Structure 1
Amino acid sequence: MKLKLLSFAAILACGLGPIAHAAEGELVIGTEGAYPPFSMADANGNVTGFDADVGNAVCAKLQLKCRFVVQAFDGLIPALNAKRFDIIISGMSITDERQKQIDFSRSYGEFPNHFIAKKDSELAGAKDLDTLKKDLGGMRVGVQAGTTHAAYVEKNLPDAQLMTYDTLDQMQIDLASGRLDTSFADVTAQNDFLAKPDGADFQLVDVVIDSSSDATLGTGLGIGIRKDEAELKERINQALCDLGADGSMKAASEKWFKMDISQTCK
């Protein structure tokens, strides 16, 4: 895993940067690279996924080159503020806590969140949030570190055993091996696991948990921008509105998620 992370840390070919990079015709984008189908980085440092498509589309609207830098999710905000890259596009939800550290673009997408469980478990039969919370007491719940899902479980499930992971792959391995009772993530990540052989004996718990359920889950996906980049933020917001209006965001969403999570400007 250390070798994998080191290879991911290499700068990838594609990006825009802060105002300085934008002036040079390049936008440098920080992304996780290990959260399918949002972003996946191969051994050669090539990034694909929904985040990559959004980043490339934004760069095209701004007439800039894209370059991606892969960074562990919980290190994205510190790295942005350290000016390692210019913006973050990494399935990051806009939350009050994150807005204390960085600014965000307008929201460009939102999706529901679900727990996942073995098909024959009591947890799989939960049909409402109160029952689900009660059933989760004492269970080993897997989440990715630094995410809104981790914040939600920590706040709302004090009796659960919170297990955090650096990557989605690590969490899914422990879920499949029985070292977790359940995991909590967005529906796209959970469906990715269910589509694998290891996910054959699992199902989504039939309780949708969206941003209206708790403030820890944020107000939709946003592009992370440093607080002193007002001009760049304005340009990115306009690009997102244009991508929503011309159907590009909807097309990228349906390509990677088989559903439309995009939000358009009103």
Structure 2
Amino acid sequence: MNLKVLSLALLLAGVSTVHAAEGELSIGTEGAYPPWSMADAAGNVTGFDADVGSLLCTKLAVKCRFVVQAFDGLIPALKAKRFDIIISGMSITQDRKKEIDFSVGYAELANMFLVPKTSDLAGIKDIDALLKGLDGKTIGVQTGTTHAHFIEKRVPSANLKTYDTLDNMQIDLASGRVEAAFADASALQDFLAKPEGKDFQFVDVKVQSKFDSTLGEGIGVGIAKESTELKAKINTALCELVADGSIGKSSQKWFKMDISRPCN
């Protein structure tokens, strides 16, 4: 193969080939969704997503470089090749698979609603009753999430308010500007641990992804469609990390439960 043909082949293989040659894997993550992903002022990223990324990089024998990006901008940034992959608590959905590819699902956590203790929703324990009770309510969700799509589909009569970050959503929840917040249970648990969360509680209904396809097929690594070789390597590594308990151990640290999802 001559040099010109080789250069063209590398170009077609995409940015991940270049980074693999450099021994670096760049990872897009939100950095504002505890305990999944938290970034400090210096750009240092911690949380479950950071652990998964570090474990993956160790398996692949490459160096990790995290790139902090607003959640709703992660997929456009991946397609623009600002980084190689996404690790940001991102659910695998049919709509997202039209834009990018995904690894195997490696984790899954129930979704729940958070409401004031005085809310008429607080005592509900049945999903059908909950969806009926949300009729006309103002519900906070994060922009571009499966939670937003779920509300749009299942409670179209709701007043849906979207937020760029979980923190901003929780500020409005605490101030009474939204009547309920919908997110994964772990993220909302962080709010309950704060002083401003003392007058709030979960609705005792866990909304699993199998209830509605809008909630996806578990959490996966987002990968550019052209990065087929990288995807194969990531799938192998993730399955090994789930099987040997590494991802489960990290999830115990951040969520106090094992949310790892075995490969089929």
Q: What TM bracket, shorter-length normalisation? A: over 0.9
Distance 1:224 1:169 in 2: 24
Q: Map 1:85-234 onto structure 2 (within 5 A).
A: 85-234=83-232
Unaligned runs of at least 5 residues, structure 2: 1-14
Distance 1:91 1:122 in 2: 30
When normalised by structure 1's length, the TM-score is: 0.93
Distance 1:155 1:134 in 2: 13
Larger Rg: 2
Distance 2:43 2:261 in 1: 29
Offset of residue 264 of structure 1: 2.0
Which letter maps to 1:230?
T
Unaligned runs of at least 5 residues, structure 1: 1-16
State the 4+ residue runs in structure 1 displaced beyond 4 angstroms.
none
Secondary structure of 2:54's counterpart equals helix
1:25 equivalent in structure 2: 23
Distance 1:198 1:205 in 2: 18
Q: 1:160-216: per-residue Cα shift (whole Å, max 9, x none)?
A: 100000000000010001111000000101111111111111110011111111100
User: Structure 1 vs Structure 2: percent identity of aligned residues?
Assistant: 66
Distance 1:82 1:191 in 2: 34
Distance 2:48 2:208 in 1: 20
1:244 equivalent in structure 2: 242
Distance 1:146 1:265 in 2: 26
Distance 2:120 2:142 in 1: 24
Query: 2:66 aligned to 54, 65, 68, which one?
Result: 68
Offset of residue 124 of structure 1: 0.5
Distance 1:169 1:236 in 2: 31
Distance 1:94 1:30 in 2: 16
Aligned length: 250
Offset of residue 159 of structure 1: 1.0
Distance 1:38 1:225 in 2: 19
When normalised by structure 2's length, the TM-score is: 0.93
2:75 equivalent in structure 1: 77
